[in-house]
């Protein structure tokens, strides 16, 4: 998918662990891990809002668009 | 009544199918032995015979007045041999249907419903049922097979939705 979730980068900047963030936003570790590894198909607005609130960032800091190689060739 | 999970209808059906698989297997082995005796041996006329000959005598004394048997008796051996693969195919199909159904209900028992493995199992059961209905000329099985084929498509869509739901954080 060409949308990349940059959670790991923002978390590293804020020096916060996965467990800590999961606890703060009341999400399971496995669900947050799905988000971090880029396996997620969709994200709820409430989850995005909670992450932005806890990491003190904007949705644009977390999401990044990178065109697929296939699309670039076209 | 609970349909899925432990101590539910699925759990009960899984147990029944597990047991019935063994029952069908034992019955089919008995049927093969009896069938071989009926099709390939010559009737024993002596009522005092022992062992297999005694079984032979009992079977043939029962069949003596049967009209279908009188018709089969007239068939040449080469045609009689064809009965074995026919009944063999029916037994194998039946055992496979029971085994796959048991696998499906075991998954339901474990709360695994919309899953790729279930889609594959339902698809296989429907194809086996259609094959079974063609061999046995049973059109109710054909209808059940077609309905299962439809159900397979529903499960395919359900699995896609479940995956979407599981990967939405």
For residue B169, the chain A residue with the least C-alpha distance is A43
**Which pLDDT does position B144 carry in this prediction?**
96
Q: What is the pLDDT of residue B23?
A: 96
CA A32 to chain B, closest CA, distance in angstroms equals 7
- Is 70 exceeded by the pLDDT of residue B93? yes
pLDDT at A71: 65
Length of chain A: 74
Flag whether pLDDT at B41 surpasses 90. Answer: no
CB contact under 8 A, A44 and B168: yes
Torsion, Cα B141 B139 B28 B66, to 10 degrees, reads 160
Encode B4-28: b = buried (16+ Cβ within 10 Å), e = exposed: beeebebbebbeebeebbeebeeeb
Q: Which of A3, A38, A41, A62 to mutate to test the interface with B (most CBs of B within 10 A)?
A: A41
Chain A residues with a Cβ under 8 Å from any Cβ in chain B = 27, 31-32, 34-35, 39-44, 47
pTM listed for this prediction: 0.79
Nearest in space to B26 (alpha carbons), one of B76, B91, B87:
B91
Work out the average pLDDT over B32-46.
77
Choose among B126, B122, B123, B125: nearest CA to B143: B126
B116-132 average pLDDT score? 96
Report whether B112 contacts B131 (CB < 8 A). Answer: no
Which residue from B minimizes the CA distance to A33?
B169
pLDDT in tens, A12-68: 999 999 999 999 999 999 999 999 998 999 999 999 999 999 999 999 999 999 887
Contact A21, B169 (CB under 8 A): no
């Amino acid at each position: 998918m060409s949308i990349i979730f940059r959670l790991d980068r923002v978390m590293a900047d804020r020096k916060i662990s996965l467990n800590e963030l999961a606890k703060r936003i009341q999400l399971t570790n496995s669900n947050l891990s799905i988000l971090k590894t880029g396996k997620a198909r969709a994200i709820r607005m409430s989850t995005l809002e909670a992450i932005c609130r806890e990491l003190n960032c904007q949705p644009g800091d977390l999401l990044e668009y990178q065109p697929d190689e296939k699309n670039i060739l076209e | 009544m609970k349909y899925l999970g432990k101590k539910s209808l699925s759990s009960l059906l899984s147990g029944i199918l597990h047991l019935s698989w063994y029952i069908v297997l034992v019955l089919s082995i008995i049927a093969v032995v009896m069938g071989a005796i009926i099709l390939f041996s010559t009737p024993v006329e002596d009522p005092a015979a022992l062992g297999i000959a005694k079984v032979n005598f009992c079977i043939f004394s029962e069949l003596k007045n049967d009209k279908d048997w009188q018709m089969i008796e007239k068939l040449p051996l080469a045609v009689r041999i064809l009965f074995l693969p026919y009944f063999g195919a029916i037994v194998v199909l039946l055992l496979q249907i029971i085994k796959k159904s048991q696998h499906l209900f075991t998954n339901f028992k474990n709360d695994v419903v919309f899953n790729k493995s279930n889609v594959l199992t339902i698809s296989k059961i429907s194809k086996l049922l259609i094959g079974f209905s063609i061999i046995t000329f049973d059109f109710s099985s054909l209808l059940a097979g077609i309905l299962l084929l439809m159900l397979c498509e529903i499960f395919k869509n359900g699995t896609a939705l479940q995956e979407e739901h599981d990967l939405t954080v």
